[in-house]
Chains A and B, each alone.
Chain A
Amino acid sequence: DSGVTQTPKHLITATGQRVTLRCSPRSGDLSVYWYQQSLDQGLQFLIQYYNGEERAKGNILERFSAQQFPDLHSELNLSSLELGDSALYFCASSPDRGARTDGYTFGSGTRLTVV
């Protein structure tokens, strides 16, 4: 157990629907990162939050949004889902704003299947 908790582990939903993925960072970590891994692709950075505020944005679609709450857990909202959104979504956390000295701690991921 890495200390980063992601729920749910699996999610199957229909096109056009909206889902929310949840992440609780490792105790003491202030930054949360969301990554997407599609079939045959590497980890693609979506967005980072640090202590409740958006810190960096990657290739995140406008249909996707995220937030980090005062208790530091984060949610990734995916709406108007398309078949191509099917992927493994990882959450990671780190103690501070970045990763200059510490690696990320990853959760076990949420596998989203859009049918």
Chain B
Amino acid sequence: ILNVEQSPQSLHVQEGDSTNFTCSFPSSNFYALHWYRWETAKSPEALFVMTLNGDEKKKGRISATLNTKEGYSYLYIKGSQPEDSATYLCALYNNNDMRFGAGTRLTVKP
């Protein structure tokens, strides 16, 4: 299965800032791309599952897009809040294999 790269590794923003980070992959040979939110001392929580080029998903202030042709997915957070502080994981699912990226650790300062 494909290697998943996430950037940046970590990100510090002020409360109220909007931010985005990237998940990139070398090929579109997968069934689905997943985004998870992982708060410290908790378990990863599924945010979005996207399968088609051009897919856009939204949940509150968080949204994600998928571009399989150019090999990336963006996760956007509008008006970041301290409770958005977490590690955001991207994962590719293909043939019973879910490969996770190393994540982007977001810290939102009040």
B96 touches A55 (CB 8 A): yes
CB distance from A111 to the nearest CB of B (A): 10
- Please tell me which one of the listed residues B47, B93, B101 contacts residue A42 in the complex, with CB atoms under 8 A apart: B101
CB distance from A28 to the nearest CB of B (A): 16
Is A8 part of the contact surface with B, judged by Cβ < 8 Å? Answer: no
A2 neighbours in B (Cβ, 8 Å): 43, 45
Which residues from chain B sit less than 8 Å from chain A, CB to CB?
Answer: 31-32, 34, 36, 42-49, 51, 89, 93, 95-103
A99 neighbours in B (Cβ, 8 Å): 31-32, 34, 49, 93, 98
A106 neighbours in B (Cβ, 8 Å): 43-45
B43 touches A109 (CB 8 A): yes
The distance in angstroms between the C-alpha atoms of A102 and B101, with both chains bound, is 18
A100 touches B99 (CB 8 A): no
Select from chain B the residue with minimum beta-carbon distance to A4. Answer: B43
Is A98 part of the contact surface with B, judged by Cβ < 8 Å? Answer: yes
A97 touches B100 (CB 8 A): no
Is A84 part of the contact surface with B, judged by Cβ < 8 Å? Answer: no
A103 touches B34 (CB 8 A): yes
Select from chain B the residue with minimum beta-carbon distance to A58. Answer: B97
**With A90-B43, A108-B42, A108-B43: A103-B100 Cβ-Cβ less than 8 Å:** no
A33 touches B98 (CB 8 A): yes
A45 touches B97 (CB 8 A): yes
- Among A48, A56, A98, A99, which residue has the most Cβ atoms of chain B within 10 A? A99
The distance in angstroms between the C-alpha atoms of A105 and B100, with both chains bound, is 14
A41 neighbours in B (Cβ, 8 Å): 102
Q: Given contacts A98-B31, A100-B32, A101-B32, could you give 18 more A-B pairs where the C-beta distance is less than 8 Å?
A: A2-B45, A33-B98, A42-B89, A45-B97, A45-B100, A55-B96, A58-B97, A97-B96, A98-B96, A99-B49, A99-B98, A101-B49, A103-B47, A103-B48, A104-B98, A106-B44, A106-B45, A107-B43
